[in-house]
Structures are given as C-alpha cells and as structure tokens.
Amino acid sequence: MTGLAARPVPVPDALSAPFWQAAARHVLTLAQCAKCHEVTLPPDLTCPHCHTIEPDFAFVPVDGTGRVRTWTVIRRSFLAGFENPFVLVDVELDGHPDMRLVARLLDGADAPLNIGTRVVVEFEDIAPGVAVPAFRLEQEA
C-alpha cells in the first residue's frame, strides 16, 4: 500500500459474492453454469453460452495461468488510488479459449512483453479482507 488515495474496492452483490470471497483467499474462480457447465466472467443474469435464466453459477477455481493477448502502459490513470505508471494486461486463461481478463501486471512498467507472454495470477490485497486479481510474469521452469 502507498500513501495515495484509496483504490476502489469491489462491492460484492448476490451474483459476485462467491468470486470475491475466493479472491480474498487468493483463489481465482470462474462462474460455471449449472446447466451447460461452460464458464464465464463476469457472472450475468443468464448463461452467455446456453442462455438459461437459471445458470446457478458455481465458482470453480482455475490455476490462473495464461498468455498475454495485449497490454497497455498506463502513464496517466483517470482513477484515483493508482501509482503511475503501471501495466494492464489482457490475459487469455489457459484451457478457456476467449476467456479474457484485464488486470495489472505487477512486474513494473518496463516488463518485457509480447503477444503470448506467459503470466500467472497473483492477488493484490487492497483493503482488510479484500483482494483483487493481478498477474505476474511466469518464472522460467
């Protein structure tokens, strides 16, 4: 945490509460439809795959690895609470084609990035009991 203004915290609702509860434990989950078993994020009132109005989403853990589809370096954020510059990455999660998540990359503004660069989820604790997903470059094995 820095001396900046507070970062915005997510306000869980009936649909999203299980996601943020898992995030607080540093576990990334996706919303899995009870009818067709496909996953999505964010959870919606219907399933975007089978369009049931009773998706009864279960939030299933994923390992949070993926590859960078694209990125941007934010040198001037329009939102209070972030120290500039920082990197946003758009990550396609392994095993879930087209399931993409935009979050911060925690390796600094000069991190070497290309389309396809491997990353893994890491959580930022932004308030007591509140953590949000971010990414870090995957270490070479």
Partner 1 sequence: MSGLFKARNQVALVGFAHSKATRKPGRPLGVTALETARAAIADAGLTPHQIDGFVSSPLLPTTGDHAVEDGISTVTSNWLARHLGLDPAYVVGFQGIGQITGSLTLAVNAIASGAADYVLFHRALHLPPGKYNDNSLTEASGAMQWMAPMGFFGAMPAIALAYNEYCQRYGATREAMATLVCEARKNGSRIPWSAWYQKPLTVEQYMAEEMIIEPMCRLDADMPVEGVACFVLTSAERAKDLPHQPVYVSGYASGYPTKNRAMLHWTLDDMMHAGEGLSTRLWESSGFTASEIDLPQLYDGFSPFVYIWLETLGFCKRGEAHEMILSGGIDSDLPGTLPVMSGGGAIGNGRMHGVPQMLECYLQLSGRAGERQRGNVTTGLACHSTPHFGGAVVYSNDPS
Least gap, CB of 138 to partner 1 (angstroms): 19
Alpha-carbon distance of 101 to 123, in angstroms, equals 13
**10 or 141, CB closer to partner 1?**
10
Which pair of structure tokens corresponds to residue 47?
Answer: 């399933």
Residue 1 interacts with which of partner 1, Zn ion, none, CB < 5 to 8 Å by class: none
58 binds Zn ion (CB under 5 A): no
What residue 50 binds from Zn ion, partner 1, none (CB within 5 to 8 A, per partner kind)?
A: Zn ion
Instruction: Find the shortest distance in angstroms from Cβ 33 to partner 1.
Output: 11
| Rg, the chain, Cα only | 16
Q: Count Cβ atoms within 10 A of the Cβ of residue 111 and give its class: 0-12 exposed, 13-18 middle, 19 or more buried.
A: middle
96 binds Zn ion (CB under 5 A): no
Coil, strand, or helix at residue 118? strand
Give residues with Cβ within 8 angstroms of 90, minimum separation 6: 68, 69, 70, 71, 100, 101, 102
Chosen residue from 7, 49, 67, 96 binding Zn ion by CB under 5 A:
49
> Which residues bind to partner 1, rule: CB under 8 A?
5-13, 16, 40-42, 44, 48, 69-82, 86, 88, 90, 98, 100, 102-104, 114-115, 126, 132-134
CA angle 34, 41, 133 (to 5 degrees): 125
Minimum distance from CB of 98 to Zn ion (Å)? 15
**Angstrom distance (rounded) from CA 72 to CA 88:** 5
Question: For residues 69 and 141, which CB has a smaller minimum distance to partner 1 in the complex?
Answer: 69
Closer residue to partner 1 in complex, CB, 83/141: 83
